[in-house]
């Protein structure tokens, strides 16, 4: 009897030991590492990197999208967790990850993790202001984790390469890595530090100087809080409304000037102002259509509004380029210039090029509803009449017509503005460089006033030549850049109104001083081309 009880206690002890061992071992299975790390009170990414190198694979079936292998330190390591993801790690990076100097190989782990495990922290505050950080849609919804050895590998002299293959064209993709928050456990943000992006037709190639959790953000944007988003919307709508009002007044002023004193420069200003009026008017109509149209409606009206907005944008930049061309002829080709039917040829370019472009796009079916993802708590969407989100080549058309073409115009007009500054500097040097002290004191006040007016003209020309659109690059850097870009470009119609007022005052001044000042260099420059 005693012997039977002794055997029973031994059996219970063995069963208890097996249960305890199985429960302990269950937490070390590779399939359960994320779940285990998410339950802790420490950084789950750090826990994952430590556990994934020592975990056990349950059963004999390989884990999908998971590679763990020993690699030689003297050779470059190449692994492919999936057919869409490849990792190339140079030998120098592997040598930094080894534990002992005598090691000849190191354990490499490359796996994919669902992007839903990465929770974004709120934008950090700096001196009471919200500092935006990078957000976007993770391409494919997967994050690539790369780990070599047991130590953190960073500041590599030779970067690793991560290749993310995509089956369809992507716009504005950028390589990022996950940066854990210092103040919120389990949360963090995407960062581009130490990574460079090379986008081809079929894949993104990321070159990074460290090992971490990597992803490609598609259409990355600066995340701003809701109050700033609302403020920017009000600035845009109010500024565009004011621009419509003041461009109408500017057109009336130019028409009156043209009737009283026909000049080619006034004609070019008038055409640019008309294109700018169409741009702000079409923008307001397209925004209003997003509120009025039904979710399932892609009507002919919406396609027409998208075409009108695209045409207005192209026409604005076309006439801005022609303003730069006219300025070039006025400043450089001063004498002996005669172009037959000059305004007709400019109009064929300024109006004809946008019309031909939108006609081809309209035939191809480019225009329609464009869905905008609103980054709020509900992840809602908004719609605007523009280039249809369903059009397969929308990214290519948008890049050529709304990115490449404006960039060329801004670059060309920047050179023209530089020529104006150089000319003004030359006039100032010619007036003041060789004059004696007595001559300086007796300098004609009218000439000095004209030089200062020319300096003010440079500032006005930057708006007339649409150089404020060059501030678009600042919107990817900081929140103040977004505000500056929004304010200046939504109020471009107001700037054109101020320019028209300046042209009116100059026209009156030239009429009053035409008898007294026939030898003025500015007068010669103006009349030689306009007449």
Count of Cβ atoms closer than 10 Å to residue 86 Cβ: 19
> Which pLDDT band holds residue 455 (cuts at 50, 70, 90)?
low
Among 223, 144, 147, which residue's Cα sits nearest to residue 178?
144
Q: Look at residue 355 and tell me whether its pLDDT is greater than 90.
A: yes
- 148-152: average pLDDT: 79
Ranked by mean pLDDT, which of 216-225, 295-304, 319-328, 511-520 comes out on top? 319-328
Q: Look at residue 138 and tell me whether its pLDDT is greater than 70.
A: yes
Q: What is the DSSP letter of 334?
A: -
- 375-397: average pLDDT: 68
Q: What is the DSSP letter of 400?
A: I
d(CA 367, CA 389): 9
Q: What is the pLDDT of residue 218?
A: 80
Summarised one tens digit per residue, pLDDT across range 241-266 is 999 999 999 999 999 988 887 888 88
Q: What is the pLDDT of residue 9?
A: 58
> Which pLDDT band holds residue 87 (cuts at 50, 70, 90)?
very high
Q: What are phi and psi of 373, to 5 degrees?
A: -80, 120
Judge contact between 354 and 319, C-beta under 8 A.
no
Q: Look at residue 426 and tell me whether its pLDDT is greater than 80.
A: no
- Give pTM, 2 decimals: 0.58
d(CA 273, CA 249): 10
Could you tell me the domains of the chain? Answer: 28-222 (2.60.220.50), 226-435+442-530 (1.20.1070.10)
Q: What is the pLDDT of residue 86?
A: 93
Q: Look at residue 277 and tell me whether its pLDDT is greater than 90.
A: yes
Among 499, 526, 311, 184, which residue's Cα sits nearest to residue 303?
311
Report the range of poorest mean pLDDT among 342-346, 350-354, 372-376: 372-376
Q: How many CA atoms lie within 13 A of 93 on its CB side?
A: 29
Q: What is the pLDDT of residue 449?
A: 64
Q: What is the pLDDT of residue 241?
A: 92
Summarised one tens digit per residue, pLDDT across range 99-129 is 776 778 888 899 998 888 888 876 555 444 3
Average pLDDT, the chain: 76
Q: What are phi and psi of 272, to 5 degrees?
A: -65, -40
Summarised one tens digit per residue, pLDDT across range 21-35 is 444 444 467 778 888
Report the range of poorest mean pLDDT among 7-16, 295-304, 322-331, 461-470: 7-16
Q: What is the pLDDT of residue 281?
A: 93
Among 261, 170, 175, which residue's Cα sits nearest to residue 219?
170
Q: What is the pLDDT of residue 23?
A: 41
Among 100, 189, 87, 116, which residue's Cα sits nearest to residue 149?
100
């Amino acid at each position: 009897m005693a012997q039977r009880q002794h055997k029973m206690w031994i059996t219970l002890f063995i069963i208890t030991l097996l249960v305890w061992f199985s429960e302990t071992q269950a937490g070390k299975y590779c399939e359960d590492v994320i779940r285990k790390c998410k339950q802790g009170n420490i950084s789950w990414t750090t826990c994952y990197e430590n556990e994934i190198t020592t975990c056990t694979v349950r059963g004999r079936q390989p884990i999908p999208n998971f590679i763990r292998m020993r690699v030689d330190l003297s050779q470059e390591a190449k692994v492919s967790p999936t057919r869409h993801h490849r990792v190339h790690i140079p030998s120098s990076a592997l040598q930094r990850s080894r534990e002992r100097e005598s090691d000849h190989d190191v354990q490499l782990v490359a796996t994919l993790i669902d992007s839903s495990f990465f929770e974004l922290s709120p934008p950090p505050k700096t001196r009471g202001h919200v500092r935006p950080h990078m957000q976007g849609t993770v391409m494919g919804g997967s994050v690539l984790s790369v780990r070599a050895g047991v130590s953190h590998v960073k500041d590599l002299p030779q970067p690793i390469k991560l290749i993310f293959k995509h089956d369809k064209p992507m716009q504005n993709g950028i390589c990022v890595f996950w940066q854990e928050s210092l103040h919120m456990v389990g949360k963090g943000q995407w960062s581009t530090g130490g990574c460079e992006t090379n986008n081809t037709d079929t894949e993104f190639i990321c070159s990074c100087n460290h090992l971490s959790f990597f992803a490609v953000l598609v259409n990355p944007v600066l995340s701003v809080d809701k109050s700033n988003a609302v403020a920017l919307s009000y600035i845009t709508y109010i500024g565009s409304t004011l621009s419509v009002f003041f461009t109408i007044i500017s057109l009336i002023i130019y028409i009156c000037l043209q009737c009283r004193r026909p000049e080619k420069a006034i004609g070019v200003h008038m055409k640019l102002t008309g294109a700018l009026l169409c741009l702000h008017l079409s923008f307001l109509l397209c925004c209003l259509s997003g509120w009025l149209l039904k979710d399932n409606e892609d009507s002919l009206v919406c396609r027409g509004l998208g075409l009108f907005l695209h045409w207005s944008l192209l026409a604005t930049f076309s006439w801005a380029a022609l303003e730069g061309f006219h300025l070039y002829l006025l400043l450089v080709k001063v004498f002996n210039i005669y172009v037959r039917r000059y305004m007709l040829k400019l109009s064929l370019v300024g109006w004809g090029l946008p019309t031909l472009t939108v006609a081809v796009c309209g035939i191809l079916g480019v225009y329609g509803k464009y869905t905008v993802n609103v980054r709020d708590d509900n992840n809602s969407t908004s719609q605007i009449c523009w280039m249809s989100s369903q059009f397969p080549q929308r990214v290519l058309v948008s890049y050529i017509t709304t990115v490449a073409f404006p960039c060329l115009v801004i670059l060309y007009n920047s050179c023209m503005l530089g020529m104006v500054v150089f000319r003004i500097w030359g006039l100032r040097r010619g007036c003041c460089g060789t004059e004696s002290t007595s001559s300086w004191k007796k300098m004609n006040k009218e000439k000095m006033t004209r030089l200062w007016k020319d300096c003010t003209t440079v500032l006005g020309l930057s708006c007339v030549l649409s150089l404020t659109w060059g501030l678009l690059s600042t919107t990817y850097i900081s929140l103040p850049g977004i505000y500056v870009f929004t304010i200046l470009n939504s109020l471009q119609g107001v700037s054109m109104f101020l320019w028209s007022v300046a042209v009116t005052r100059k026209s009156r001044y030239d009429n009053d001083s035409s008898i007294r000042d026939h030898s003025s260099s500015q007068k010669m420059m103006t009349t030689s081309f306009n007449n």
